Amino acid sequence: MTNERLLYCLNGVDERFILKADPARRYVRPQFRLAALAACLCLVFGGIFAVVRQIVPSAPFDPSLPHVSLPETLSEEGGGGSGLGTYFDGDSLICSLLPDERELPEALPVYRSGVFSPDGTVRGLTKAGMRERLEQALSALEPDTAPLPPYVFGDDRTPSLNVKAAGTSVRVTADGTVDITFDNGLPLPDRYVFRSDSSDAEALAALGWLTERYSDLLGFAEPSPFTTASRLYSGEAQRSYLVCDASCGGIIVGYSLRCARFFPDENGALKRILLTDGLTAAEKLGDYPLITEKEAENKLLAGKYLSLSPVRVPGRKYILGADIVYLNGPGVQTLMPFYRFYVCLPYELLPEELERTPLGTAKENGLKVCGIYYVPAIDGRYISRG
């Protein structure tokens, strides 16, 4: 990757949440609203705000739900894009992956993660469990892959099983991730256009074919496809191809914790499939009532949030908006929903390392800096204070 493609601070926002540069061609599912963060120096000419449903009144306290603890720190590897900040161009944007307000639940599930130990090492799937998942993946890939040789066991902070032969590499890790790479790419049928500069219609058609073709590999009971497009500051088009499993607790849970991404190569062939499963070895604790966005915003302004940003939220007028995601990664023991707030940070408050880009300062390049802040979405009565 070039510096232009890495023009963000310390950790970028997942490409799933990049808003398309041309809002007139934005794809919105009939049942769900999809908006995304214009990040990584996308040339954004317009944006929309997705309004989070206001839940009133507060649900009665349920003593049967166990108390949960927040992660002590955020990791740059955490799920949901827990980056320190990102640059964006223009006055755009929010960003959210939320169902239509009428369909938002009043509660979302919370899980105890069975993947990460307190020191950040991965302990999810056993060696036998990884071997089973590897064999399932290989079986689903046939006839595209030739029989593969015995696997190699990688024993580090993230145990894995790895195989490679006939131009295909498969890696299964203990956190449930399956990463498949085709050295020469697998072409799609001629009627499909699968590129980074595909139109919405072309992308949806290709994604539909990929979802059907690899349905056995995905194993999703309720696959929900998503595609977003963007244009980097360099002018390069970007396109994401993603499908999540909405059957595992709803669209928000599936999008954050159980999904598959397809990657094209420069010739429009399938280069890579990445399946992530944050619910590997997870134990559901229950469905927890949510607070409203307004309540979460007040907590944000009071400094009750998690963030890698060194800048305190300067005021309500700087808040661009919010979406809801689950955090997952090293140090996260409980999988719970968070409001993820995007805040435009004034230049004068920025430390030098946050304001400077590889091409100069953000101000010199006409860029604004967005900080990312997380507020627990569940009722605070269920969160342990110790």
Alpha-carbon 69 to chain mean position: 22
pTM recorded for the entire structure? 0.75
Q: Is residue 350 part of a domain?
A: yes
> What pLDDT sits at residue 95?
41
Which residues does 327 contact at the CB level (< 8 Å), separation at least 6?
Answer: 71, 74, 78, 79, 80, 82, 335, 336, 338, 374
Are 268 and 301 in a shared domain?
no
| Residues 271 and 351 reside in one and the same domain | no
Residue 211 has pLDDT above 60, yes or no: yes
Report if residue 66 sits inside a domain.
Answer: yes
pLDDT given for residue 299 in this prediction: 94
Task: For residues 230 and 92, state if they share a domain.
Answer: no
Instruction: Using alpha carbons, list the distances in angstroms from residue 224 to 30, 212, 241, 245, 349.
Output: 12, 12, 11, 6, 40
pLDDT, tens digit, for every residue of 143-157? Answer: 555 555 566 666 666
The domain total for the chain is 2
Residues 30-51: tens digit of each pLDDT: 233 323 333 332 322 222 223 3
| Phi, psi (deg, nearest 5) at residue 186 | -110, 115
Domain hosting 249: range is 127-277
pLDDT band at residue 106 under the 50/70/90 scheme: confident
C-alpha to C-alpha distance for 5 and 12, rounded to whole angstroms: 10
**Is 333 within the bounds of a domain?**
no
Query: Do 86 and 148 fall within a single domain?
Result: no
Residues 49 and 174 grouped into a single domain: no
Question: Are 272 and 322 members of one domain?
Answer: no
Does residue 272 share a domain with residue 131? yes
Over residues 159-185, mean pLDDT: 89
- Give 42-82 pLDDT, tens digit per residue: 322 222 223 333 444 467 888 899 999 887 666 444 334 44
* One domain for residues 11 and 93: yes
pLDDT value for 35: 31
Q: Is the peptide bond before 57 cis (omega within 30 degrees of 0)?
A: yes
Three-class DSSP category at 210? helix
Would 355 be classed as within a structural domain?
yes
Q: Report if residue 304 sits inside a domain.
A: yes
pLDDT band at residue 126 under the 50/70/90 scheme: confident
pLDDT of 330-361, one tens digit each? 778 899 999 989 888 888 887 776 666 666 67
Q: How many residues does the chain have?
A: 386
| 300 in the same domain as 223 | no
Q: Residue 196 falls within a domain, yes or no?
A: yes
According to the model, what pLDDT value does residue 71 have?
A: 79
Instruction: Return all residues near 208 (Cβ < 8 A) that are at least 6 apart.
Output: 225
Burial bucket for residue 100 (CB in 10 Å: 0-12, 13-18, 19+): middle
- Tell me what pLDDT residue 149 has: 57
How many angstroms from the chain centroid is the CA of residue 43? Answer: 21
Q: What counts of helices (H) and strands (E) characterise the chain? A: 6, 20
Q: Is residue 240 part of a domain?
A: yes
My answer on whether 151 and 252 are in the same domain is yes
Most confidently modeled of 75-79, 257-261, 306-310, 341-345? Answer: 257-261
Domain co-membership, 74 together with 207: no
Same domain, 131 and 214: yes
Residue 286 lies in a domain: no
Mean pLDDT of 319-331: 84
Q: Cα separation of 256 and 277, whole Å?
A: 9
Decide if 115 contacts 124 (C-beta within 8 A): yes
